[in-house]
Amino acid sequence: MLKQMMAERGRKVRLAAGEFVFHQGDGDESVYGVERGLLKAFYTQPDGREFIKSIVPAGAFIASLNALVGNGECTFSLAAIEDCELLALPYRELRGAASEDLEIARDLIGLLAELASRKERREYQLLCMSAEERYELFLEESGGNPDWLSQADLAAYLGITPQALSRIKRRRRERKQIRGS
Amino acid sequence: MLKQMMAERGRKVRLAAGEFVFHQGDGDESVYGVERGLLKAFYTQPDGREFIKSIVPAGAFIASLNALVGNGECTFSLAAIEDCELLALPYRELRGAASEDLEIARDLIGLLAELASRKERREYQLLCMSAEERYELFLEESGGNPDWLSQADLAAYLGITPQALSRIKRRRRERKQIRGS
DNA sequence: GGCAGTAATGAACCGCGGTTAACTGGCGAT
DNA sequence: ATCGCCAGTTAACCGCGGTTCATTACTGCC
């Protein structure tokens, strides 16, 4: 089983909030499983702007697919939002184990399908929904405005600036006022 | 090997330009391999607006991941842009074969990783790049403005309206004029 | 030729988000 | 208390994209 293999052969990684697992441009070919904590995977633009690709909670797996499939560089950075414990396993090992063990292969197939499915949802949101709709969806899915994410990070996740997010919140407040009066 | 299995056990599907493979909301759990032709995978909004998720060329594989992983509905429609020949195989069969054959499992893993990697690139473009930058990238990757895609479809792929695409093209023309003078 | 249908373009108006800058409130350090 | 720092908000200006409507160009059809 895959989780078991991660636990047995994986390298334990602990890091404090703010520390990086890998940086954009690195050649990190490991797959990481999050045991505890919270991370953000984000792109940094040449001009310094930051866009958060995904928030990575405990229980999730993450890797830079570009680094895995083509031995390329990581296209994004991975950093801890809270203190974290991870398990790291080189993808080569995982693939190697999957080529000898049908159980592990099955798990890896399920994992990759899950991953692609989540990416498909994110892709849909970015392509079809406005920033305000994405914000509303985020509120629903996370159950109210979370304390574990700064406005700057939330804005970067939505693909806008903190100022634009502030405006969206104000518009919603004002609309609710009108409804409530 | 996976391609071989598709060829042997897959159902041959022929369709003319404009015809649908499946509609958004269907429960189609097949994986499709494109033998010949060109298709578009697209979301249709309640108000009728259309967003193209991906252009699917010959040689590619496509399936609605939401339908595969959770037995859910297809989140998008798949339709032929040109006359097509496809091979269809239920994902259940593919997964079943992969759970008995390490070769097929390895191929399926590679396929899913490839798929996720491409989705990651698209996600990056939608999150970090402007519509104009996405247009320029499309031109580079397809080698000049293609005749096999209407302006309306190209706009839907970029996530904007045909009018906005027209404006982008005009802005580029005018900027080139200035450079060239 | 005349006609309708469609694709692409263009113009006018408006709302949203980026940019820049200023302002507010909370918090720790001294 | 004061200072500085940081997160969040607000405002003013501008450019881009959506919306609507009109125009142009091309095609097939009678």
Which residues of chain A have a CB within 8 Å of the CB of B102? Answer: 99-100, 102, 105
Residue B181 has pLDDT above 60, yes or no: no
Chain D, protein-covered positions (CB within 7 A): 7-12, 16-21
| pLDDT on residue A83 | 93
CB pairs under 8 A between A and B: 112
ipTM of the complex model: 0.93
How far is A11 from A19, CA to CA, in rounded Å? 17
Structure tokens at B170: 């005009």
Cβ of residue B172 lies below 7 Å from strand C: no
Q: Does any strand D atom come closer than 7 Å to the Cβ of A152?
A: yes
pLDDT at site B154: 97
Closest nucleotide to the alpha carbon of B163, via C1': C9
Does residue B164 surpass a pLDDT of 90?
Answer: yes
Distances, alpha carbon B76 to alpha carbons B44, B50, B91, in Å: 7, 10, 17
pLDDT of B147 > 60? The answer is yes
Amino acid letter, residue B13: V
User: In the 8-state DSSP scheme, what is residue A27?
Assistant: -
Q: Per the CB < 8 Å rule, is B98 touching A106?
A: yes
Task: Please indicate whether, in this complex, the C-beta atoms of B43 and A127 are within 8 angstroms of each other.
Answer: yes
C27 C1' to A63 CA distance, Å: 37
Q: B112: alpha, beta or left, given left = phi > 0 and alpha = psi -120 to 50?
A: alpha
**Average pLDDT along chain A, 181 residues, taken 10 residues at a time:** 91 95 96 96 95 97 94 95 96 95 95 96 98 97 89 98 97 80 53
Short-list B107, B166, B52, B79, CA closest to A127: B52
Q: How close A177 comes to chain B (CA, Å)?
A: 27
State residue A162's pLDDT score.
98
Looking from the CA of A134 toward its CB, the CA atoms found within 13 Å total: 21
Work out the average pLDDT over B149-168: 97
d(CA B118, CA B49): 24
In chain B, whose CA is at the least distance from the CA of A46?
A: B128
In chain B, which residues have their Cβ closer than 8 Å to the Cβ of A160? none
Nearest Cα neighbor of B12 from B41, B29, B35, B43 is B35
Query: What's the pLDDT at B132?
Result: 97
Sequence-separated (6 or more) residues with CB below 8 Å from residue B60: B33, B34
Q: Report CA(B56)–C1'(D8) in Å, whole number.
A: 44
The CATH classification of domain B2-127, taken from the options 3.60.110.10, 3.30.420.40, 2.60.120.10, 1.10.3210.10: 2.60.120.10
**What pLDDT, on a 0 to 100 scale, did the predictor assign at position A179?**
66
User: Hey, how many other C-beta atoms are within 10 angstroms of the C-beta on B179?
Assistant: 7
The answer, yes or no, to whether residue B7 has pLDDT greater than 60, is: yes
pLDDT digits (tens, 9 = 90+) for B26-81: 999 999 999 999 999 999 999 999 999 999 999 999 999 999 998 899 999 999 99
Number of CB atoms found within 10 A of residue B163's CB: 10
Domain residue extents for chain B = 2-127, 129-181
Q: Name the residue facing A115 among B98, B102, B116 (closest C-beta).
A: B116
Maximum Cα interatomic distance, chain A, rounded to a whole number of Å: 66
